[in-house]
Structures are given as structure tokens and as C-alpha cells.
Structure 1
Amino acid sequence: MARTALITGASSGLGAEYARQLAMRGFDLVLVARDREALEARAAELRGSYGRQVEVLAADLLRPRKREKVEARVADPQRPVDLLVNNAGFGLPLAFARNDIEDEARHLALHVEVPMRLTHAALAPMLARGRGRIINVASVAAFMPRSTYGACKRWLVDFSRWANAEYGPRGVSVTAVCPGFTHTNFHERMGLEPGREGIADGLWLQAQDVVADSLRDAARGKGVSIPSVRYKVLTRVVRVLPARVSARLGQRGR
């Protein structure tokens, strides 16, 4: 029986790359995002290229009734989800005091509450089967002061590390993936491009490399995956810097 992966934020960026690489590895897919038209186009492409079954589930995860449908799909024992990828997210300017507080609340909900709820929904059936994987897409921003984005991602890293230690021995791994600046439309939507705002070209990663590295780390049962040697080194350095210095570094690249 084919394995099934459910991916949020699957219409573009890292989510689309997860869908492509998992389809290539033989997974059937459940693609979740707000834009049904974009999801249908992505699904048709994946079916044609890899011959996998692809289910489309259009849902705004910040709307409780829509999110609950995704939770129900994740928890459905008759249609098991073997791999959950919590990838949906968006960025805000780092100037917290000037940001709209409702935007900040939505940002917090999508980066913390939604993956927590979907992880909770996935755990019961996965633990009952004695196998499963959960990938929570975080960021290297989790390791440096970076407004509420870094704080949200830090929560996701700590939660994933704990959950992996707790449930890994029972067959369910939980991995926080911490990419750095990556060539996707996530940064493009914020107006950030390579060569701008102090981000060296060498710090930009390719989405296919991030996803491949993270899937390999998840298969090995790692609680935290930091794709690329350069960011592994950078996060270790940042951890020992004074808070004011690391906060200044975190201001680069919005």
C-alpha cells in the first residue's frame, strides 16, 4: 500500500518542493493551501509526472472550520497519513511596534497554533500504528532574536525536539526543519531578493537541497534539521554571541 503525505502550504515554495520530492519517492499526496486553483494545477502536474494519487484540500488554516477539516483528514484512520509536513506560513516586517496587532495574532496562530493542532491530530493514529513522521518547517531565525517570527520558530523547534524525544521511541519522529534564506516566493512576497539588504549570495539556499536534506534527517529520526553546513556553523556562532549583537544580525533580510 502506498504511503500518504499531507503537506500544508503546498501550492508554492518549499511546500511545492516537498510535494514533488515525496511524489518522486512514491508517496500519494494530500495538498493543503488556500488557493484551490493553484492546488489543482500543482496536483495535475504531479499526477502527470509521477503517477501518484493527489488529493486537493483547499483550506484557510486560520479559519477554525476549515482547519478542523484538515485536522479530521490527518486523523482519519481509514485514510492514514504517514507523513505530515507543517509548512504553511507567512512573514511580517520585523518592526513589531508598528505592525498591526491582528496581523501579528494571525502570524502567531499560523506558525504555532496550527502546527500544534495538526501534530496533535496526527499523533494518535500514528502512535496506534507504531509509525509515522511529522516535519515542522521552522527557520534558523529560531536561534537568534528576530521579532515574533524568530520567537514562533523557536517554539516550533523546542516543541519538535521534545516531541521527537517523547514519541520517537514509539515509532513516530518529529523533526523541526530550520532553513536559512531560500530561493522561494516566501521571501519574494516580502520584497527580499539575493544581493539586497546585506544577505550575501552564498547564504541563499536552493529549495530542492533544503527539502532533500530535511527528508534525509527526518528518516534518520533527528529532532532538528539545519540544511547546509554554512547554517549549521552560523547557528552555533549566533548562540554564543551577546543578545544585542545577534539581534543586529537578525535585522538583516527582514
Structure 2
Amino acid sequence: MPTALITGASGGIGKAFAEELAAQNHNLVLVARSEKKLNELAEQLSKKFQVKVDIIAKDLTETGATNSVFEFTQQQGLTIDLLINNAGFGDYGDFAETDEERQIKMIQLNILALVDLTHKYLPLMRQRRSGSIINISSIAAFQPMPYLSVYSASKAFVRNFSQALWAENRQYGIRVLVSCPGPTETDFFTEAKFPPTLANKSNQISTPEEVVQETLKALERGDSTVVIGGFSTHVLTKVANLVPRETLLNLLEKQFKA
């Protein structure tokens, strides 16, 4: 029975991954900050699907947190067949006026924790010549976004990093996929402190379950990248390459200014 490790597993897309993979007979290692939510989810999934669910209540922005995750799986003798780096958050606002610590934590979670966990588990996958990694990015990865400057930059990093790993690791039988969802029914806009006038402006909002289904299908196809959302979402990913950069930035600044 394969084992999947999912970060940010207590809600949203991470929880949807846990539910879908448990239904597909995967054992799970669930990582998130809330021990209570993880325990509730683990109990629910283990009873319903008869799978083994381990939980690790960790804030991945804390020093040594990724080491603790890796050491736990090693001590338990767990082989991680599928790593899903889902944990992340955004923060809306004029960068010069934002909270510095929150911007640093965003980089620590969206980039550093993802890179560190990937670097810990990828060599083991290479040794076995099997395994899969899914990194959750965003359509924000396709262009700079005023008032979401650090978030969009972090997601661009995740996209480029993942695509490079896809090319490096095909020869080892390892699949690497970056999933770039558009607007999704999660707490993202609330957590990012979006102004109500800007939050959920799109009329094409995916459910976490739709994101998971499309992502897993793309993984099975061996794709390097999947963009998830309606027609306008896919158009947005192309516009950045067609419009002069200053024109694009001026449009985005006006669109996202509260």
C-alpha cells in the first residue's frame, strides 16, 4: 500500500488530497499546525477507508520543523511514495507597509520548507527509481502581482523549480508535477487579508476536490505542469507573454489596488 505525505493537510486542498488518496487506498502522513484538526481528520479517514494515518503537528516555518518531519518518517520506517508540498499562504498589501515577519514566514513556508522536504525525499525516490512529487503553486506564478508581490514571486519559484525537477528526474522513473490552480474555495482570501471588494471576484472558482482530481490526472499523464480553472484562468496564464511588461504591471496594479 503506497504512502503519501501531505503538508497543509488540515484544510482546503491538502485535506481534499488526504480524502481522495485515502479513498484510493493510500496510507497517509498528514502535516499541519493544528493537532486537533489533524487528529479529527486522521480518525475519520482511518475508520472510513481502513488506511493507516500518521499525523505530525508542526509549523513548517519553525527552525528544524522539516528535519522533524523527515526523522519521524525514517524512525517509523515509512517509505514516502508521494510527496505533496501543499502548505503555503499569501498576504495582500503594499509591500513597504506589510508586516516584515509575515513576509519572511511566507518565504520560509512557500519556498524553503518545500525545497527542504523535496531535497530530503527525492534522493530516496531516486534510489528506488520510483516516486512522485506534487508541488502546489498558483496562477499567480505566471506574472508579477502588485500587492501580492512576495506571494506571486514565491509561486513563480515553485513553478520553475518543479519544472526543472521534472526534466532532471524523468530518467529515474520519478514524476514531478507543479499544480497551478486559479481561484479555489479555500480560506486563502481570508488568510491573505484580501479586501472584500477584491476577494473571490472570479465567477470561475474551483472546489478543492476539483483541484485534486485534475492534479492527480495530470500526474498520471506524466505532465510537468497543470493549470486548473475555467477559460479565463487559462487565458491569464498566457497574457503575461503577450503583453509588454510595463503595460501588464500597470493593469495589474490598478486591478489589485484596494
User: TM-score, structure 1 length as denominator?
Assistant: 0.91
Deviation of 1:196 (Å): 3.9
- The aligned counterpart of 1:95 is 94
Within 5 A, what are the aligned runs for 1:138-153?
A: 138-146=137-145, 147-153=149-155
Of residues 231, 234, 240, the one that matches 1:232 is 234
How many positions carry a matched residue from both structures? 252
Cα drift, residue 75 of structure 1: 5.9
Listed as ranges, the gaps of 5+ residues in structure 1 are none
> What displacement does 1:102 show?
1.9
Moved more, 62-71 or 244-253: 244-253
Report the residue type matching 1:79 in the other structure.
L
Q: 1:172 is matched with which residue?
A: 174
**C-alpha distance in structure 2 between counterparts of 1:7 and 1:181, whole Å:** 21
1:249 aligns with 2:252: yes
- Among the aligned pairs, what percent are the same residue? 33
Deviation (angstroms), 1:228:
3.1
Q: How big is each residue's C-alpha offset from its partner over 1:212-238, in whole Å with a ceiling of 9 and x where there is no partner?
A: 101111122211111135222321123
1:201 Cα shift? 4.2
Under a length normalisation based on structure 2, what TM-score does the superposition of the two structures give? 0.90
What is the distance in 1 between the residues matched to 2:48 and 2:229?
28
Deviation larger for 163-172 or 3-12? 163-172
Specify the code of the residue in structure 2 equivalent to 1:223.
S
Q: What's the RMSD between the two structures over aligned residues?
A: 2.1
- State the partner residue of 1:119: 118
Alpha-carbon distance between aligned partners in 2 of 1:201 and 1:98, rounded to the nearest angstrom = 26
1:197 Cα deviation from its structure 2 partner: 1.9
Residue 183 of structure 1, aligned match among 167, 182, 185 = 185
2:198 alignment partner AA = E
| CA gap 1:50/1:125 in 2 versus in 1, 3 angstroms | same
Please state how far the C-alpha of 1:190 moved relative to its aligned partner. Answer: 3.3
Shift of 1:127: 0.6
For the Cα contact (< 8 Å) 1:198–1:252, is it kept in 2?
Answer: no
Once the two structures are superposed, what CA deviation does each residue of 1:105-163 show, in whole Å capped at 9, x if it has no partner? 11111111110000001111101111100011000000011111111111110000000
Partner Cα distance (1:37, 1:138) in 2 = 26
Q: Distance in 2 between matches of 1:41 and 1:151?
A: 34
5+ residue gaps, structure 2, are: none
